[in-house]
Structure 1
Amino acid sequence: MKLRLERLWPKKDYTVGRLYVDDRLFCNTLEDRIVDKNKNGVFDGDEKKVYSESAIPYGTYKIIYNWSPKFGRNLPRLLNVPHFEGILIHPGNTAADSAGCILVGKNTEVGRLTNSRYISDELNKLIDEAQQKGEPITIEIV
Structure 2
Amino acid sequence: MVKKSILKVLRKQQGKNSTLSEIYLNNQFICYGLEDIPRTKKIPGSTSIPLGIYPLGFNKDGGMNGNYYDRFPKLHRGMIEIKDIPAFSYVYIHIGNTHKETAGCLLVGTGYVFEHGDFRLVQSVTAYKKLYGMLVDLLVEGEVFIEVTE
Q: TM-score, normalised by structure 1?
A: 0.86
Give runs of ≥4 in structure 1 deviating > 3 Å. none
> Among 34, 42, 48, which residue is 1:49 paired with?
42
CA distance in 2, matches of 1:13, 1:108: 15
Sequence identity (%): 28
Identify the match of residue 128 of structure 2 among 103, 116, 120: 120
1:34 partner amino acid: P
Deviation of 1:50 (Å) = 0.9
State the Cα RMSD in Å: 1.2
Taking CA–CA contacts closer than 8 Å with sequence separation of 6 or more, which of the two structures ends up with the larger relative contact order? 2
Letter in 2 for 1:121: K
Contact 1:10–1:34 (8 Å) recurs in 2: no
> In the alignment, which of 121, 144, 148 is matched to residue 141 of structure 1?
148
Distance 1:132 1:15 in 2: 30
Q: Distance in 1 between matches of 2:112 and 2:89?
A: 30
Match of 1:130 in 2: 138
Contact 2:111–2:123 under 8 Å retained in 1: no
Which residue of the partner structure matches residue 56 of structure 2? Answer: 63
- Higher helix proportion: 2
CA distance in 2 between partners of 1:99 and 1:125 (Å): 22
Q: Match for residue 104 of structure 2?
A: 100
Q: Indicate the residue corresponding to 1:31 in structure 2.
A: 35
Q: How far apart are 1:2 and its partner, in Å?
A: 0.8
2:148 is matched by which residue type in structure 1? I
When normalised by structure 2's length, the TM-score is: 0.82
Kindly tell me the number of residue pairs found equivalent between the two proteins: 130
- Quick check: 1:64–1:78 contact (8 Å CA) kept in 2? yes
Whole-Å separation in 1 of the counterparts to 2:104 and 2:93: 10
Structure 1 unmatched ranges of 5 or more: 36-46
Post-superposition CA distance 1:62-101 (Å, at most 9, x none): 0013325232242210111111100000010101110110
Q: Which runs of 5+ in 2 are unaligned?
A: 70-77
